[in-house]
Amino acid sequence: MQEKEKNKEKSSNPKSKRTERFSDMLLQVTTDLAKTKSLDEALETLVKITTTTIGAERGTIFLNDPATGELYSRIAQGSFRREIRILNTKGVAGWVFTRNEGAIIHDAYKDDRFNKAVDVRTGFRTKSILCAPLRTVSGEEIGVSQILNKIDGEFEQDDLDLLEAMTEQAAIAIQGNIIVEQIEAARKQELEFLDVVSQVSSELELTPLLQKIITTISTMLDCERATLFINDEKTNELYTEVGEGLDEKSVIKFPNHLGIAGTVFTTGKPVNIPHAYADLRFNPSFDKQTGFFTRSILCMPVLNKEGKTIGVSQVLNKRGGSFNSEDEKRLAAFTSQISMGIENAKLFDDVQNQKNYSESILSSMHDAVLTIDENGIVKTCNTAGLRILKIPIVSDILEQPIKDILSNKNDWLLNKLEKVEEEEEFLDHEIILDSEKLSVNISLLPLIGQKKENLGIMLMIEDISSEKRMKSTMSRYMDPELADQLMNAGDSDDIMGGKQSVGTVLFSDVRSFTTITEELGAQGTVKLLNEYFTIMVDCITDEGGMLDKFIGDAMMCIFGTPVPHDDDPDRAVRAAIRMMTDLKVFNDKRSTEGKMAIDHGMGINTDSIVSGNIGSPKRMDYTVIGDGVNLAARIESACKQYGAHILISEFTYKAVKATYRTRQVDYVIVKGKTEPVGVYEVLDFHDDSSYPNLVEALGIFNDGYRSWNEAKWDQAIKLFKDVKKINPNDKAAQLYLDRCDHMKKNPPKGEWDGVWVMTTK
């Protein structure tokens, strides 16, 4: 009876109940995780246990990636899984991870640490958050456990204690699965490593070998692109035909002392650059040509067994961060294993090239060239030989006795073939082929092997008939393309050395870039920029423009140099309009994928510019400079003020030949200038959904702007209000309403000229 009373008292004790609950949950965590067979399965199990036990709507496990400084979680999508990554210092999860302490948030939208953009993108409404660090028994922090929206009541300290206890119990199993996953990945990489090394010994052709090598390097180092440059000792150039991002027939060649690859080749030491555009040795011209954006570079010398540098391996853009010391070791080990295969393939390639070169020479010759072995059998015959000997196809002569080809009508030549001495012999004679007599020059040359053995005879036949002589003479005239090449070379020097001309400059800039960076993280931001720039660069180049440079999230583009057109201002305006329409298509696609849209503004100016190679002896870029460039940049930055997407200067407005839907939005003195300039907005990219009744609104706005210039403030206010009735989102109309109110209260002193002074860039 006393024992029952004690048990009853124990079961009614809240502290005992809590301890018993903790014990049961921890036992469940240990048991359930012990049954899992992979990291993904373990994470799913832990999320299920924590959300069910504490009673919440959703849960997520974030693991820390020390290499990139990011927290990542995995989401199943059908049979695939994708990772979501955030900086391990951002948001509630980042706060918990960096502080190594849990957090209870009763109202997420009132907490500064909460990122509301995630709810906007996913459609989920976060109310409350419980977040605890995921750490092992020894205290090592490996991630964060986060659960959202308690179903009954609010999250309490007991919930946080239970969550921390469960995650600590699960951490050992999760850490073990992480290690197993890393071991499996390393094992897979090593198997691929050994597989390619074994293929190297069996592959003799250089191009397929290089393709296998760069594919393996890309996989092994988890990078976006890889290239293997081989040194050409004859020209002292590094070259490659194979590289990710190159066309099938593209060949890159450059002096073996230039650029980052040249530095590595000449010094024999690896180079690891985390930020390419911050390094003066980096040449961004290839990025400009291809639209690729280089972030990080690892470059390693390829040494043969004697320690001589025979090439350079280069990898770009490590996914998730920069290349580390482990990447350097793996690339160094790989290149040391493949150098012998590269040399063998290069030697085979040289032999093959020499063979092709010889065959090409023989094919292009007007003289017949035959080789005959020591038994009088024809082994080779060039195209001219078939023509002169009147043989339809090469198979009719190869492996045939030469006496059957020449017949008994040419016994004198057959006798000569049998009596060829050690030196070359020349004959001026006639041969008869199909009853036709030809005047020919004959050359007979004995073929001697390395050990002085007789390998046969080379027979050369030159047709010196009148027709042959005429063709031979005509073929010796100078190639007319030579002068064109010299003239082109001269023009190129003038252009690259410096040239003043009239050009049209287009600046574009992405809006709210800081917000995009914070939401997407480093990896997501770079991916978005690459996709965006790929689309925008096509709009520029399709109109004959040149991408001058990327400036962070901005672009500077030129129309009119180095190749001018009569309608360069129109080309720039058309390119800007297409950039807006293509951006809408891009944003519509992103919207269907649940991703945030992006916006940009553009400024265009036509003026005198100076173009040429500008820089220092160590690094030069072909670019343009001048007031015309600066004004385009100022106009682009003014887009935000007017709510515009495309602004052009009065100089471009006067230079265009086509008709566009435009309105003058200002006559302004921009920052850094003393003379006013007219600024016009181009609206041709709008449709009825983005700007209803555009033509009507344009007419009213232009009337309002004329009233503004005439200092008729009340009349201007009425007209701009009419514009707002048509389109309440017209920011330019609102701007002039505010300006008119200001001018009514502060009338201009003296004569009013309509000029507004811009105080910001």
pLDDT digits (tens, 9 = 90+) for 68-91: 788 888 764 445 566 778 888 888
Give yes or no on whether 203-353 and 367-474 have one common fold.
Answer: yes
Number of Cβ within 10 Å of residue 118's Cβ equals: 14
SS3 692: coil
**Sheet containing 103-105, strands listed edge to edge, beginning at the edge strand earlier in sequence:** 80-87, 70-77, 56-65, 141-150, 129-135, 103-105
Looking at domain 498-685, its CATH superfamily turns out to be Nucleotide cyclase, GGDEF domain (3.30.70.1230)
SS3 674: coil
Condensed to tens digits (0 to 9), the pLDDT of residues 682-695 reads 999 998 888 989 88
- Phi/psi class of residue 483: alpha, beta or left (left: φ > 0; alpha: ψ in -120 to 50)? alpha
Output the DSSP codes for 511-561: TTHHHHHHHHHHHHHHHHHHHHHHHHHHHHHHTT-EEEEEETTEEEEEESS
Condensed to tens digits (0 to 9), the pLDDT of residues 192-211 reads 666 666 655 555 566 676 67
Beta strands 662-669; 677-682: pairing state: antiparallel
The pLDDT of residue 491? 47
Looking at domain 367-474, its CATH superfamily turns out to be PAS domain (3.30.450.20)
Distance CA 540, CA 554 (A): 14
**pTM, whole model, 2 decimals?**
0.40
| CATH class of the domain comprising 11-184 | alpha beta
Place of tokens 């201009």: 748
Beta strands 600-616; 646-649: pairing state: parallel
- Residues 342/311, Cβ–Cβ less than 8 Å: yes
Burial of 125 (0-12, 13-18, 19+ CB in 10 A): exposed
- Kindly list the domain boundaries of the chain, sorted by start residue: 11-184, 203-353, 367-474, 498-685, 687-756
- Phi/psi class of residue 144: alpha, beta or left (left: φ > 0; alpha: ψ in -120 to 50)? beta
Condensed to tens digits (0 to 9), the pLDDT of residues 518-543 reads 888 888 888 888 889 889 988 988 88
The pLDDT of residue 369? 84
pLDDT of 247 > 80? The answer is: no
The pLDDT of residue 479? 31
HEC profile of 584-609: HHHHHHHHHCCCCCCCEEEEEEEEEE
Residue type for 127, please? K
Options 3.40.50.10860, 3.30.450.40, 3.30.360.10, 3.40.50.2300; CATH for 203-353 is 3.30.450.40
β-partners of residue 239 are: 230, 253
Helical residues (DSSP H) of 671-746, grouped into ranges: 694-709, 713-726, 731-745
- Residues 113/139, Cβ–Cβ less than 8 Å: no
Q: How does residue 30 score in pLDDT terms, banded at 50, 70 and 90? A: low
Question: Residue 298: which H helix or E strand, with range?
Answer: strand 297-303
Distance CA 526, CA 533 (A): 10
| Angle at the Cα of 557 from the Cα atoms of 552 and 562, rounded to 5 degrees | 135
Condensed to tens digits (0 to 9), the pLDDT of residues 584-594 reads 999 999 889 88
- Residues 624/548, Cβ–Cβ less than 8 Å: yes
Within 8 A by CB and 6+ apart from 410, the residues are 431, 432
Measure CA 441 to chain center.
59
Cα distances (angstroms) measured from residue 745 to each of 160, 368, 738, 739, 754: 60, 98, 11, 10, 16
Total H helices, total E strands in the chain = 23, 26
- Residues 75/81, Cβ–Cβ less than 8 Å: yes
The pLDDT of residue 242? 56
Classify the C-alpha dihedral 305-311-316-322 as positive or negative.
Answer: positive
| Angle at the Cα of 577 from the Cα atoms of 647 and 533, rounded to 5 degrees | 95
pLDDT of 679 > 90? The answer is: yes
Distance CA 715, CA 728 (A): 19
Place of tokens 């020059």: 441
| Structure tokens belonging to residue 364 | 């292009």
Q: At 367, phi and psi to the nearest 5?
A: -100, 150
Residues 104-114 have a mean pLDDT of 88
Q: How does residue 29 score in pLDDT terms, banded at 50, 70 and 90? A: low
Within 8 A by CB and 6+ apart from 681, the residues are 642, 644, 646, 647, 648, 662, 663, 665, 732
Distance CA 528, CA 224 (A): 15
Q: How does residue 498 score in pLDDT terms, banded at 50, 70 and 90? A: low
